[in-house]
Chains A and B, each alone.
Chain A
């Protein structure tokens, strides 16, 4: 009897953690989806998330306000998105290399800024700067439902936003004129251009949106999860978001499913670590990345990638 109770508790624990862990991945992946639909392959998601995580932390720590930290991070994400758009849409530079540049920028600037902003910290944990983590928001009535309540409706605000963004992005892309234009950019930018629509402007908007979403996802890694910042705290989540967009076949619904699978894997290994299973935790930590490679191996079956993804549009 007691045993049954523990099993149920563990499963609820794992599933609630899955939803939580999915949050930053889902936000970043939905942003990247819109950017890629517009024909821009932004590989700088990791760097953008890291900057979002850092700026969110820094501003929240200095002002004491999570809201201001969140806004500052979104703004930073928008600026980085604009940089990506300027390089790829205006200067028509190679998008792969630009994305790498943005990752290195996020990594370098966050490290430098962190060290400059907190020059006197010692290595002992207690002295490191901290923030308060966002509170969970229990949704009235729904959070009281047995099993489902603690899993789905006792999460942080950003988690609700991330999952609500799935239908919103879907509706925007497939049922608005603006979304149709964005999708057109990835398929046939010349046709969009000939309609008299400003291709560059639209690509800027899509890439800035992607940057903001990535940074928002990044803030969840700090503001939503932990009281301290450390270098490279996003640990490859930005790259996983890119993998998720491919694995989700550039469709919002499937992207959500792919995100949940990755998150479940991560939640599972966290639980295994927690109950002290005799597998080295480093192997467990590497699982999502191994899984990502395996998930990509079915690549031949897919054909829904935007046809002009990563190809700069040149008016001849």
Chain B
């Protein structure tokens, strides 16, 4: 006990990038350990599961390219979450905004069909951004002028959009003659170009990378980026610095929603070619974890997104070979998030000998 009294736990004044990366890696390692336990408890062989998971994700060129396809919506929803979280604005609605964007872009395709392809693409992307952005805007306006917590609005709109989608897919846009609730496939010429033959890797991935660079520029080099960062570090001081908090909140949620909407448009025209209820299997929520794993840094969100894209892709082979259900990945995501939070909290403190302090 005496020995312990010579030490004390104190808060670190600043956390360097290496410490952040280290804490993320430790969190991943511990999360993998828990995952192994989970697989074992469920009656699976964790070694087989991990080997097939890795093989299916990054084992060969084909697997890697497919993982990049899967990572595209995650990088984009990750960016959508991160830009809001930077300002401590909690957009939990990327899932709904993703679907809204898909619906908007599909509407644009139906409306402007016949225009030159490049122009049509631009209209599709803009429409996706607008419809996704509108839901962000709604949350922003309600927060700024009616004091409605954006968490509530964005979560509720997730459910509302889902029901609206179900309505659209069971009626007006339903593929004629099909028993499934989905739209007809979009024609070949409007699909995003494939980048590597023999794979599904498409222009969407490059657009996601571009969006990350754009995010980096906006957050670090523009007045809006400064305002978002100021809001995140100290909302009270922001007010005194002459920043319009309402305007910043509204702009941030608008952009965040637009990026999530773009993600839906890209997933629709780049990868799945039709809207169905599972166009997103929780990409909006996985995006939150991607954003936090990437430390809300746009450039780190890219590898974080690829990592989760790989997990989702690899889980398919894992299920086929080892019978461990792909749903494992949904559990793993949450486990990673919780350990990430815990390890970040622990990194914030350090143990020092009292003698050294005084």
Stretch at the interface among B17-25, B99-107, B301-309, B321-329: B321-329
Residues of B within 8 A of A98 (CB): 338, 341
Stretch at the interface among A175-183, A204-212, A295-303: A295-303
Contact A116 B42 (CB under 8 A): yes
Q: Assuming A107-B334, A293-B152, is B160 touching A112 (CB within 8 A)? A: no
CA distance A104 to B335 in the complex (A): 9
Q: Assuming A96-B90, A286-B164, is B42 touching A111 (CB within 8 A)? A: no
CA distance A92 to B289 in the complex (A): 19
Contact A104 B337 (CB under 8 A): yes
Kindly provide the distance from the CB of B271 to the nearest chain A CB, expressed in whole angstroms: 23
Q: Assuming A104-B289, A116-B325, is B155 touching A239 (CB within 8 A)? A: yes
> What mask results when residues 156 to 197 of chain B are scored 1 for a CB within 8 Å of chain A, else 0?
110110011011001100000000000000000000000000
> What mask results when residues 177 to 201 of chain A are scored 1 for a CB within 8 Å of chain B, else 0?
0000000000000000000000000
Q: Assuming A101-B337, A116-B325, A282-B163, is B156 touching A111 (CB within 8 A)? A: no
Contact B288 A100 (CB under 8 A): yes
Kindly provide the distance from the CB of B48 to the nearest chain A CB, expressed in whole angstroms: 15
Residues of A within 8 A of B156 (CB): 236, 239, 243, 289-290, 292-293
Contact among A93, A119, A290 for B342, CB-based, below 8 A:
A93
B237 interface contact, C-beta 8 A: no
Contact A96 B331 (CB under 8 A): no
* Smallest CB gap from B282: residue in A: A107
Stretch at the interface among B142-150, B214-222, B249-257: B142-150
Q: Which residue, A91, A105, A112, A296, has most C-beta atoms of chain B within 10 A?
A: A112
Contact A93 B341 (CB under 8 A): yes
B92 interface contact, C-beta 8 A: yes
Q: Assuming A100-B337, A101-B337, is B42 touching A283 (CB within 8 A)? A: no
Kindly provide the distance from the CB of B23 to the nearest chain A CB, expressed in whole angstroms: 12
CA distance A119 to B332 in the complex (A): 19
Contact A289 B159 (CB under 8 A): yes
Contact among B38, B42, B152, B331 for A243, CB-based, below 8 A:
B152
Q: Assuming A87-B338, A97-B341, is B171 touching A43 (CB within 8 A)? A: no
Size bracket, chain B contacts: 35 or more
Kindly provide the distance from the CB of A58 to the nearest chain B CB, expressed in whole angstroms: 12
Contact among B282, B332, B345 for A91, CB-based, below 8 A:
B345
Contact among B155, B160, B325 for A115, CB-based, below 8 A:
B325
CA distance A157 to B18 in the complex (A): 56
* Smallest CB gap from A285: residue in B: B163
Contact B334 A105 (CB under 8 A): yes
CA distance A71 to B29 in the complex (A): 33
Kindly provide the distance from the CB of A307 to the nearest chain B CB, expressed in whole angstroms: 15
Contact A112 B328 (CB under 8 A): yes
Contact A286 B163 (CB under 8 A): yes
A173 interface contact, C-beta 8 A: no
Residues of B within 8 A of A119 (CB): 323, 325
Residues of B within 8 A of A97 (CB): 292, 337, 341
CA distance A83 to B339 in the complex (A): 11
Q: Assuming A235-B159, A300-B146, is B327 touching A115 (CB within 8 A)? A: yes
B151 interface contact, C-beta 8 A: yes
Kindly provide the distance from the CB of B171 to the nearest chain A CB, expressed in whole angstroms: 7
Contact B159 A116 (CB under 8 A): no
